[in-house]
């Protein structure tokens, strides 16, 4: 435990004067053995000395004086059959209360005095031989609730006292009955009075009033049990708890429910408001897609297959414990996102007139950061003043002002350079699309019967002059050619996209050459349109500039590539691969694995807030006429592009970092290398940092899995584990359930691989794809999310306009002012870390989340490894030989640096997909 104390500085529990250290738990060698009949002993006969520690800074819990007094016993110990034990119950207060909350809270304080209390009961791990039911203590009420109802501390500790028989055994569960009118957030319960030492119950859950949910809530101790090891006293409780969480699949869900179930994406459109807002159902044989959390809302009036909408600011259902907690500070990113979407964007729409629809010069874009946008606030002025707007947005006399994005912080013209364009393909916000070019010319996988012959128009003569004297074949053999290929993702949709008002797109391919310095140089861009006739020029190749005119053509071509890349990044790599594809695994984990299950305990911090942010996305981001449709090139076809990628290229077995790098040809297997593979671009910041984090996660998971599954038969016979994996695939990903690439969960290696992949996707992969969105995309010319004009050719009417004022033409091709400001406000919020963020290597109640002290120590080792990786990333960012992360005007690559402060920092790896 030495390393535990060194890293964490002693836990909150250890510093308490009423709870002793976790060292009083079972000897490590006995962790998997069930404790039987511990002797109960009066507190005054035990000489347990708990050293006082330095007081923790921050909010102090209010504790009754009774808490630190010795508990009196009137019966001599040698004659006693019953003993008194004490529960310390930690309740987290709401930081903000509305008028209704205050009234109900005062009413509860009053009725608590007359018997409408919060009632607890202990349940033993043992069966009573007489009743054949679990042994239970007497019921006990929380003391002093009414006295402490107005305490302003963040956490308040209450006491409950039980009389327990000396043969009670070890308490394994506590039931809680809330007879108040108001829910409360139960953080932890700690029992004292048992010879085995304190027994911890990490709860972290909302307990509803009995009037809303009549049944008692069940909370288990922190000791993990595989299903077949569950003590007799807990078996029925374990099964009943899971049955309640699954629900019956019927009815409309209430916000106070904690039911987890599956449904298709049939709530993105709003056909009741018009046919233009109808959207296809995603999920099913016609358009395969992962499943989402069921809300049970009634069908829309005009389409019985479409679920009725809940529009902002009304909340979308997710199970109660999945909803965002209140932030310790006022600026919590979730509420800020709602504020931006609900209030700022309508103000922007009203303020930016039709006559001011595009930027007149680059200086006007710069003014967004120096001068801001003047809003026509009117009646909304007072409301906007109260809004928790992003830090990047300052509300001063109706002016919305944005922070300067990080891409401009070192070199404001970096975005124009080809080397920066290439660098961002491996160290920007979408470093997971670049591939090694394996065949020349590039080939399409689209069906030629539908889309025609799709051989690339890029020829050897286009690129041979940029290969440092090599032929194309030699460059291929020496692994010097790489490609960003968005051709197949966009071409099937281009006719429909280009028919939209204000949208113009190509399907792009970009070829890069790996220079001797280890940087990527773009050497050709192919711009494809659907063939509309036998004489149509549907493909065009643009190469680096040789004069003024070709310089602007090259800049426009790169902008179209970035627009393609922004769409694939957002719809496929970010939303599909880290948000939507994880949701089925999270739903199934809650439905099939008990909180007692060690694998649930492992995954728990990596599932935090994901259902809530995905629900918010369905409500405001990926919905019809939402932010994604409004701000990105594909428009109303955005989610169909995402679904096409799910059907055509998503494979769970390829989602691990090593498998993905090998699939894209960016690495080759090499057992002599530290991570078992060799990168073909040595200075590939996303991959080099990512492999370090991947290996640390994998080692931690392997240690954990080996602890509970010393042989494969335990994995195969673990009914909860197998039910979780089966349901994740056969229900959550049912449209792909028959694919032969799903790993089988029949041995430790496969289990480690599956769990490591899930944790990687939820933490590091999501961080790499999310938290650089404003730092790189907040300056729209660097990475335009949509384009409004194609590149004119010499015989086009627009060509003369382009020649006369190429800068004006370039700016007119970028998003307009409204689209830009709306996009900036949203990606700023999406790039923001909340103050209560938990980063990789951290978790709530770090010393008591599990009762297995060997695993607690292993987790602290994992935490220490995260700190070591962070120092190594910092070292690499100062290594001038690594030109993709260090140099004049070059941004350091910090997106995978594990820790971060709050705000837009362009770094930090949270445990879960939480924004």
Any idea which residues carry the catalytic annotation? Answer: 574, 579, 766, 770, 915
For residue 500, how many other CB atoms are within 10 A of its CB?
16
3-state SS string over 199-244? EEEEEEEEECCCCCCCCCEEEECCCCCCHHHCCHHHHHHHHHHHHH
Query: Does residue 224 contact residue 603 with C-beta atoms inside 8 Å?
Result: no
What is the widest separation between alpha-carbon atoms in the chain? 105
Measure the CA–CA gap between 743 and 527, rounded to whole angstroms.
Answer: 38
Q: Which of 895, 605, 693 is nearest to 776 (CA)?
A: 895
Tokens, residue 146: 């009414």
Measure the CA–CA gap between 388 and 403, rounded to whole angstroms.
Answer: 16
DSSP state letters, 463-474: HGGGSTT--HHH
Classify 446 in phi/psi space as left (phi over 0), alpha (psi -120 to 50) or beta: beta
Burial 569-582 (b: 16+ CB within 10 A, else e): bbbbbbbbbbbbbb
Q: Which of 631, 692, 681 is nearest to 897 (CA)?
A: 692
Tokens, residue 727: 């349901």
Tokens, residue 95: 């930081």
Query: Does residue 561 contact residue 635 with C-beta atoms inside 8 Å?
Result: no
Q: Cα(first)–Cα(last) distance of the chain, in Å? A: 34
Q: Which of 443, 440, 549, 589 is nearest to 807 (CA)?
A: 549
For residue 377, how many other CB atoms are within 10 A of its CB?
19
Measure the CA–CA gap between 399 and 859, rounded to whole angstroms.
Answer: 47
List beta partners, residue 127.
134
Question: Who's near 627: CB < 8 A, 6+ residues apart?
Answer: 341, 620, 621, 822, 823, 826
Cα angle 11-17-18, degrees, rounded to a multiple of 5: 95
């Amino acid at each position: 435990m030495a390393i535990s104390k060194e890293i964490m500085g002693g836990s909150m529990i250890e510093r308490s004067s009423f709870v002793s250290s976790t060292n009083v738990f079972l000897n490590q060698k006995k962790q998997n053995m069930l404790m039987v009949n511990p002797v109960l002993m009066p507190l005054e006969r035990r000489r347990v000395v708990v050293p006082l520690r330095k007081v923790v800074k921050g909010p102090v819990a209010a504790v009754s004086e009774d808490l630190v007094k010795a508990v009196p016993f009137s019966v001599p110990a040698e004659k006693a059959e019953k003993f008194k034990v004490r529960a310390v119950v930690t309740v987290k207060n709401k930081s903000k209360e509305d008028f209704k909350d205050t009234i109900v809270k005062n009413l509860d304080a009053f009725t608590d005095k007359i018997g409408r209390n919060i009632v607890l009961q202990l349940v033993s791990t043992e069966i009573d031989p007489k009743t054949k039911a679990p042994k239970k203590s007497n019921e006990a009420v929380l003391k002093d609730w009414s006295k402490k109802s107005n305490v302003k501390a963040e956490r308040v500790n209450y006491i409950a006292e039980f009389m327990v028989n000396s043969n009670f055994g070890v308490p394994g569960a506590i039931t809680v009955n809330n007879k108040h009118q108001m829910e409360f957030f139960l953080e932890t319960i700690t029992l004292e009075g048992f010879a085995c030492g304190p027994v911890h119950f990490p709860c972290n859950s909302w307990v509803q009033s009995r009037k809303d949910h009549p049944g008692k809530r069940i909370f288990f101790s922190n000791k993990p049990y595989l299903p077949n090891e569950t003590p007799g006293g807990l078996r029925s409780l374990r099964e009943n708890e899971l049955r309640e969480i699954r629900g019956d699949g019927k009815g409309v869900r209430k916000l106070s429910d904690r039911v987890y179930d599956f449904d298709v994406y049939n709530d993105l459109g709003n056909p009741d408001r018009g046919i233009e807002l109808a959207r296809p159902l995603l999920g099913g044989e016609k358009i395969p897609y992962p499943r989402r959390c069921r809300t049970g809302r009634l069908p829309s009036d005009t389409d019985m297959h479409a679920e009725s909408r809940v529009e902002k600011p009304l909340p979308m259902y997710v199970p109660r414990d999945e909803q965002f907690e209140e932030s310790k500070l006022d600026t919590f990113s979730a509420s800020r996102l709602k504020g931006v979407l609900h209030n700022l964007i309508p103000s922007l729409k009203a303020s930016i007139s039709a006559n001011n629809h595009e930027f007149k010069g680059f200086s006007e874009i710069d003014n967004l950061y120096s001068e801001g946008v003047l809003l026509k606030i009117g009646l909304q002025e007072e409301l906007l003043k109260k809004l928790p707007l992003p830090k990047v947005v300052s509300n001063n006399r109706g002016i919305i002002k944005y922070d300067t994005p990080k891409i401009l912080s070192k070199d404001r013209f970096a975005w124009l350079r080809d080397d920066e364009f290439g660098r961002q393909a491996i160290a920007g916000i979408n470093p997971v699309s670049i591939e090694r070019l394996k065949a020349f010319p590039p080939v399409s996988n689209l069906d030629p019967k539908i889309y025609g012959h799709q051989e690339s128009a890029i020829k050897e003569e286009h690129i041979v002059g940029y290969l440092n004297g090599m032929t194309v074949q030699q460059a291929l053999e020496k692994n010097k050619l790489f490609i960003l290929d968005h051709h197949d993702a966009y071409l099937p949709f281009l006719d429909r996209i280009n028919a939209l008002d204000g949208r113009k797109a190509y399907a792009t391919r970009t070829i890069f050459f790996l220079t001797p310095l280890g940087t990527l140089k773009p050497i050709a861009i192919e711009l494809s349109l659907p063939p509309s006739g036998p004489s149509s020029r549907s493909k065009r190749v643009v190469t680096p500039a040789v004069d003024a005119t070709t310089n602007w053509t090259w800049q426009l071509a790169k902008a179209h590539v970035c627009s393609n890349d922004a769409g694939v990044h957002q719809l496929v790599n970010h939303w599909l691969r880290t948000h939507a594809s994880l949701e089925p695994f999270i739903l199934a984990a809650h439905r099939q694995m008990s909180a007692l299950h060690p694998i649930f305990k492992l995954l728990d911090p990596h599932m935090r807030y994901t259902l809530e942010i995905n629900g918010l996305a369905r409500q405001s981001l990926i919905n019809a006429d939402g932010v994604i449709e409004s701000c990105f090139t594909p428009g109303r076809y955005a989610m169909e592009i995402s679904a096409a990628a799910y059907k055509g290229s998503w494979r769970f077995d390829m989602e691990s970092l090593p498998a993905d790098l090998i699939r894209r040809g960016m690495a080759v297997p090499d057992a002599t290398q530290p991570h078992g593979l060799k990168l073909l671009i040595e200075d590939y910041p996303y991959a080099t940092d990512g492999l370090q984090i991947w290996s640390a996660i994998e080692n931690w998971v392997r240690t954990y899995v080996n602890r509970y599954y010393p042989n494969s038969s335990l994995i195969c016979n673990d009914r909860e584990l197998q039910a979780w994996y089966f349901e994740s695939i056969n229900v959550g990903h049912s449209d792909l359930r028959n694919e032969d690439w799903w790993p089988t969960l029949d041995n430790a290696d496969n289990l480690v691989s599956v769990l490591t992949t899930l944790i990687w996707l939820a933490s590091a992969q999501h961080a790499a794809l999310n938290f650089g969105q404003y730092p790189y995309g907040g300056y729209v010319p660097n990475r335009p999310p949509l384009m409004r004009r194609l590149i004119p050719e010499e015989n086009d009417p627009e060509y003369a306009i382009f020649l006369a004022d190429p800068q004006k033409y370039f700016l007119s091709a970028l998003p307009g002012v409204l689209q830009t400001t709306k996009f900036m406000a949203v990606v700023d919020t999406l790039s923001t870390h909340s103050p209560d963020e938990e980063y990789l290597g951290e978790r709530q109640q770090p010393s008591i989340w599990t009762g297995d002290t060997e695993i607690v120590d292993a987790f602290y080792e994992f935490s220490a490894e995260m700190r070591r990786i962070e120092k190594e990333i910092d070292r690499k960012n100062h290594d001038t030989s690594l030109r993709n992360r260090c140099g004049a005007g070059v941004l350091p690559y910090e997106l995978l640096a594990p820790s971060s402060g709050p705000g837009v920092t362009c770094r930090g790896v949270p445990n879960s997909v939480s924004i």
